[in-house]
Amino acid sequence: MGFRLSKIYTRTGDAGETGLADGRRVAKDHPRIEAMGEIDTLNSHIGLLLATLQPLSKQHPGLSDVIAVLEPCQHRLFDLGGELAMPDYQALQPAEVERLELAIDRWNEVVGPLKNFILPGGSQVVAQAHICRSLARSAERRCQQLNAQEPIRKEGLAYINRMSDLLFVAARIIAHHQQVSEVLWQAAPKRAD
């Protein structure tokens, strides 16, 4: 992209509207802007997750693989945001969805089948991975709301869906490499009446 921002504020959004890349003006709470905002929030939290993983990878070399899988995700999420900002723009390819699926399958082989529900926790970085997972689900809901009004490319919908799956398994593989126990859900004790 050759376009660069030379001025950060424009004063054109003060009345509650923002501009899309195709020149349309929409309300700042339009489903398209909501979806873009949720993807941006997810991307920011993945950045925090990666910044937390970097120093830990020196102690736990297996975390380098998690970093290698997640780093391109930030760029692809930015691409997805671009597709939402410019509806005719197409950046995400089916190969990106397949890349996430391969990582999910590879990590699942290491951590094994799920035997119980898992709660966020165990370590700060595991909890951050779960925050990212929940934000991916929120972004997916916003994308589906937009899709109900204005169709989105299937690659974008599939990618954001796989992101939450990837981040769930990432939390598990991070716990594995850190050698911390996953926090398993426990049912409330039955009352003795």
167 within 8 A of 73, measured Cβ to Cβ:
no
| Mean per-residue pLDDT pooled into runs of 10, the chain (193 residues) | 54 62 73 93 98 94 96 97 88 95 97 88 94 98 96 95 97 95 84 78
* CATH topology classification for 25-180: Hypothetical Protein Ta1238; Chain: A; (1.20.1200)
Strand partners, 18: 26
Q: What average pLDDT does the chain have? A: 89
Q: What's residue 16's pLDDT?
A: 66
pLDDT, tens only, 33-83: 899 999 999 999 999 999 999 999 999 999 999 999 999 999 999 999 999
Secondary structure class of 13 (helix, strand, coil): coil
> How far apart, in Å, do the first and last CA atoms of the chain sit?
68
pTM for the model stands at 0.87
The residue written with tokens 């951050």 in the block is: 128
DSSP 8-state assignment for residue 3: -
pLDDT at 116: 87
- Report whether 80 contacts 160 (CB < 8 A): yes
Token pair listed for 7 = 């001025």
Question: What's the confidence (pLDDT) of residue 1?
Answer: 46
